[in-house]
Structure 1
Amino acid sequence: MGRSDLERLSREELIELVLRLQRPEKTSRTSSKPPATDRKERREQSKPGGGKPGHEGHSRVMSEDPDAVVDHRPDRCVCCGGSLHEDIPAEIVSVSEHIELPEVAPAVTQHRRLAVHCPSCGTRVVAPVPKAARGTPFGPRLHAVATYLKTFQALSYERLQAALSDLFGLRLSQGGLMNLLRRAQARFRPGREEAVSMLRRAAVVASDETGVRIEGSNAYHWVFHSADAVVHTASPTRGAVVVREMMDGHRPAVWISDRYTAQQGHAAAHQTCLAHLARDVAYAVETSDDPVPWRLQLWLRSVFALAERITDFASSTLAAKHRTLDRRLRAILATASGCDLTRDLQAKIGRARDQLLVFLVHPGAVEPTNNGSERLLRPSVVQRKMTNGYRAMWAAEGEADIRTVVDTARLTGSTPFGTILKTIGA
């Protein structure tokens, strides 16, 4: 906007423009921006880390089955100098542990084929190729360790190559590592198909996506999850076609997501993420003196407080609270305001009004936020920042398969490395 444009503005328009320019920048607390984008001075003013007041402390649990136990008992009395024989009863005063990792070296087994000349006819007989000598020379545990470090510790090929060399004395080329990981990823395809099958029978499904670089182009990492399954998938598009292909005609009772259009209309009912809405409201409260955003913030606090105790109430009580919250929201949205931020917020909430309190109709089965999806996507975001994406689509799809199997197994308490080793060694 040039000087001539500014001169044509009315007094009220100039005031509105100045007020807009004075608005604070959005942060991770008032928008969906990641915390790393916050300004340094704001981060310095944030609360310190560590345990908060009232937090119950935890200490390391002593091993129930130590490899060795060494008793240290006194041999002479510190008072009279008398001898303390070993047959005198003793009591345990304290227990401490010394923990060390053993040196890890690759276990290399050479399989040599031998040939023998028959003493009867002179024929040269060669031993058949042993099973261990067919295919890759690397065993299941090595495949599992490389897959775990690459996928869940976000190591690049160069850093993975260095880690295997420094820790285990294994020298593999980056091409060899790529072939190793590709072989390992293929073992997760059946587990992925099983997880997709469970997802397509679920009554409640949540979804989200995040950007990723694949083959030098912008693409997306999607996650879908239910009570029994987690499915990750890589796609070049952010469109609704990804959801339709994933669900293959199945319409759950409830879908949980943000307000992005591509994630709308895939279930009988939709629960909009209230955490996203709360951040928008927080920004309006900080920026505007209008009372409507403040009233919305109080309303959301009441909703979140109810969500924490939702299983404690009878269905009739929840229905009454649902009506009360809906009535309060209707009054807030009907309040006239001269603030453009407030009006935009009222319009956004009004469009999603029938999607805000769906979780009250399904107590304990539907969450009021989509934080579960965001937590499942976080490792992929870390991987993107550490390695700058994937060189090939097969790598992105293979890693999505691994995360699918591991995150689904986590729902039943399995550990990532244990799941990887079990899958590869099956």
Structure 2
Amino acid sequence: MGLAKRQPSYDDLVRVIADLQARLDAVEADNERLRAENAELKRRLAQDSSNSSKPPSSDSPFRKPAPRSQRRSSGRKPGAQDGHEGTNLERVADPDTVVEHRPAACGGCENVLAQDAEAVGFSWSQVFDLPEPRLIVTEHRMLKVRCHCGHITRADHPHGVKAPTQYGPGVHALAVYQLVHQHVPCLRTATGAADLHGAHLSEGFAHTALDRAASHLAPFSERVVALLQLADVAHFDESGIRVASSLHWVHVACTTHLTWYKAHAKRGKAGMADAGVLPYFTGTTVTDAWSSYLGYGTAGALCNAHILRDLDGVHHTDPTGQQWAKAAIDALTTANDAAHAAREAGREALTSDEITSLETQFDHAVRVGRSTNPDPPPKAKKSFARQLVDRLIRRREDILRFLHDLRVPFTSNQAEQDIRMTKIQMKVSGGWRTLDGANRWLLVRSYLSTARKHGLNPMTVLRDLFAGNPWLPPAPA
């Protein structure tokens, strides 16, 4: 008969329980980690251009996001509003060409009308059309004049006229306009000039025209950088580009009336310093949340379009658990509506009571967000929702800057719009061969963008540039 099995002692049971508890703690920690990883993967999977900073080109063609906007209805009907004047063609008093048409027969007796029959009036129709594609050739003759002393003196060539035959400022302006303003490749620029204007250009001519334009823009670059340094509010952004098959960065500094681009090999402070605006800027910067922008200017404002997209992404991933994000969206959009209404009414500032009420709504939503997303276990990574809450707390003053200074916009859309043009050029050309070439293109683009913001025709300012009289942005009143 075998020996009786020994019953575990109290100490044995304590060790077993401790071992099981340790295993349970490890399983719970793994479970918590896996839940966090699963939530993060679901968040990333749900991301698209409507609820994050991802570009529309990254959206799946099989799962296009439904259009969603943070804008609220204005209450106005779609289309032109009552009182809108419209833009129909108006008759001109002095047409370029007048063509008279005589009736062939009488509408009464049906007899043939004589050629000298009296005309007693007319009705009219004006047709606005393009001229036939042809170049206008101007021959400059430098006369040789004999003085009474017998010496013969020849007149000097006009400015810009050097060769026996050459293209004028208008043709150079057309080539640069197509290359820089319309993002047309060189070969198609040459083809279009021939088809539309009868100017048979080469690709080399288009490249040379761009280089010549950039070489005349030193006065413009000095003026626009100086004006941006003195601006009360300016927008700043950066975006990746390809130069010599490697990643570079284009930096933009802009206002509603000024644009300045500069390409650099670095994204951070070295590139910002090379652009020449931020190190000397004395106003309020409007940027995204990238930390390299901190410390510039006298005050900073965050782009709330980025904040709204991040909040929308958090709420879209977990609508029930992250209701605070929707409340924060409502608080920010309500505050933006109040600031916009104040500007439209011609007010210089919101009242302190208005600001306090709007800030309280936002602060309450953020506090709920912090309690909904508590501190993670030691060494565990914070969820994106918690990181967003921390950013809203840490950058609160910059997020709500637009409430305290009505000159500050709610978003940095101005910089987004201006830098988008470089992305279009990237799609067309794939990049630039050299950094110098990129900066020449960006300099001309700065010139055309700034002129357009002042309501000027880009072809006109390019003609002036090639005629030796570059346009310069005026100093603010």
TM range (shorter): 0.7 to 0.9
Displacement of 1:228 after TM fit?
Answer: 4.7
| Distance in 2 separating the partners of 1:46 and 1:347 | 29
| Distance in 2 separating the partners of 1:179 and 1:25 | 48
Residue 54 of structure 1 pairs with residue 78 of structure 2: yes
| Distance in 2 separating the partners of 1:167 and 1:314 | 50
Corresponding pairs, count: 403
Displacement of 1:150 after TM fit?
Answer: 0.5
| Per-residue CA distance 1:287-332 (angstroms, 9 max, x = gap) | 1122111111111221221232132375674322222222222222
Distance 1:315 1:89, change over 3 A: closer
| Distance in 2 separating the partners of 1:327 and 1:399 | 47
Moved more, 220-229 or 262-271: 220-229
Matches within 5 A, 1:258-337: 258-288=288-318, 289=320, 290-311=322-343, 312=345, 317-335=350-368, 336-337=371-372
The amino acid of 2:245's aligned partner reads: G
1:77·1:83 contact (CA, 8 Å) conserved in 2?
no
Q: Please state whether the residue corresponding to 1:309 is helix, strand or coil.
A: helix
| Distance in 1 separating the partners of 2:316 and 2:458 | 42
Displacement of 1:367 after TM fit?
Answer: 0.9
Of structures 1 and 2, the larger Rg is shown by 2
| Per-residue CA distance 1:310-355 (angstroms, 9 max, x = gap) | 3237567432222222222222222201483432221121121110
- Residue 52 of structure 2, aligned match among 31, 36, 57: 31
Q: Please state whether the residue corresponding to 1:32 is helix, strand or coil.
A: coil
2:11 match: none
1:189·1:401 contact (CA, 8 Å) conserved in 2?
no
Moved more, 158-167 or 37-46: 37-46
Displacement of 1:222 after TM fit?
Answer: 1.6
- Residue 133 of structure 1, aligned match among 149, 152, 162: 162
Residue 422 of structure 1 pairs with residue 464 of structure 2: yes
Q: Please state whether the residue corresponding to 1:221 is helix, strand or coil.
A: strand
1:221 match: 250
Q: Please state whether the residue corresponding to 2:189 is helix, strand or coil.
A: helix
Moved more, 347-356 or 234-243: 234-243
Q: Please state whether the residue corresponding to 1:271 is helix, strand or coil.
A: strand
Matches within 5 A, 1:264-413: 264-288=294-318, 289=320, 290-311=322-343, 312=345, 317-335=350-368, 336-338=371-373, 340-363=383-406, 365-413=407-455
- TM-score of the two chains, using structure 2 as the length reference: 0.73
Displacement of 1:130 after TM fit?
Answer: 5.1
| Distance in 1 separating the partners of 2:164 and 2:99 | 47
Displacement of 1:41 after TM fit?
Answer: 4.3
| Per-residue CA distance 1:265-290 (angstroms, 9 max, x = gap) | 21111010001111111111111122
Matches within 5 A, 1:245-256: 245=274, 246-247=276-277, 249-256=279-286
Distance 1:303 1:89, change over 3 A: same
Distance 1:189 1:136, change over 3 A: farther
Displacement of 1:56 after TM fit?
Answer: 0.7
| Distance in 1 separating the partners of 2:107 and 2:164 | 68
The amino acid of 2:286's aligned partner reads: I
Q: Please state whether the residue corresponding to 2:251 is helix, strand or coil.
A: strand
2:219 match: 190
Displacement of 1:411 after TM fit?
Answer: 3.2
2:233 match: 204
| Distance in 1 separating the partners of 2:125 and 2:340 | 40
The amino acid of 1:231's aligned partner reads: W
Distance 1:26 1:69, change over 3 A: farther
Distance 1:22 1:224, change over 3 A: closer
| Distance in 2 separating the partners of 1:189 and 1:402 | 11
1:113·1:126 contact (CA, 8 Å) conserved in 2?
no
| Distance in 1 separating the partners of 2:424 and 2:184 | 10
| Distance in 1 separating the partners of 2:42 and 2:337 | 33
Distance 1:15 1:256, change over 3 A: closer
| Distance in 1 separating the partners of 2:287 and 2:450 | 19
Matches within 5 A, 1:22-101: 22-23=42-43, 24-43=45-64, 45-46=66-67, 54-56=78-80, 58=86, 60-65=88-93, 66-68=95-97, 97-101=126-130
1:318·1:360 contact (CA, 8 Å) conserved in 2?
no
1:238 match: 267
Q: Please state whether the residue corresponding to 2:280 is helix, strand or coil.
A: coil
Matched-pair identity in %:
25
Displacement of 1:82 after TM fit?
Answer: 12
Distance 1:244 1:30, change over 3 A: same
| Distance in 2 separating the partners of 1:395 and 1:142 | 21
Displacement of 1:360 after TM fit?
Answer: 2.3
The amino acid of 1:299's aligned partner reads: A
User: Which structure 1 segments of 5+ residues have no match?
Assistant: 1-5, 116-124
The amino acid of 1:386's aligned partner reads: V
Displacement of 1:77 after TM fit?
Answer: 6.8
| Distance in 1 separating the partners of 2:164 and 2:305 | 51
Distance 1:395 1:40, change over 3 A: same
Displacement of 1:259 after TM fit?
Answer: 0.8
User: Which structure 2 segments of 5+ residues have no match?
Assistant: 1-25, 69-75, 145-151, 375-382, 470-477
2:248·2:263 contact (CA, 8 Å) conserved in 1?
yes
The amino acid of 1:36's aligned partner reads: S
Displacement of 1:63 after TM fit?
Answer: 4.5
Displacement of 1:38 after TM fit?
Answer: 2.2
Distance 1:88 1:248, change over 3 A: closer
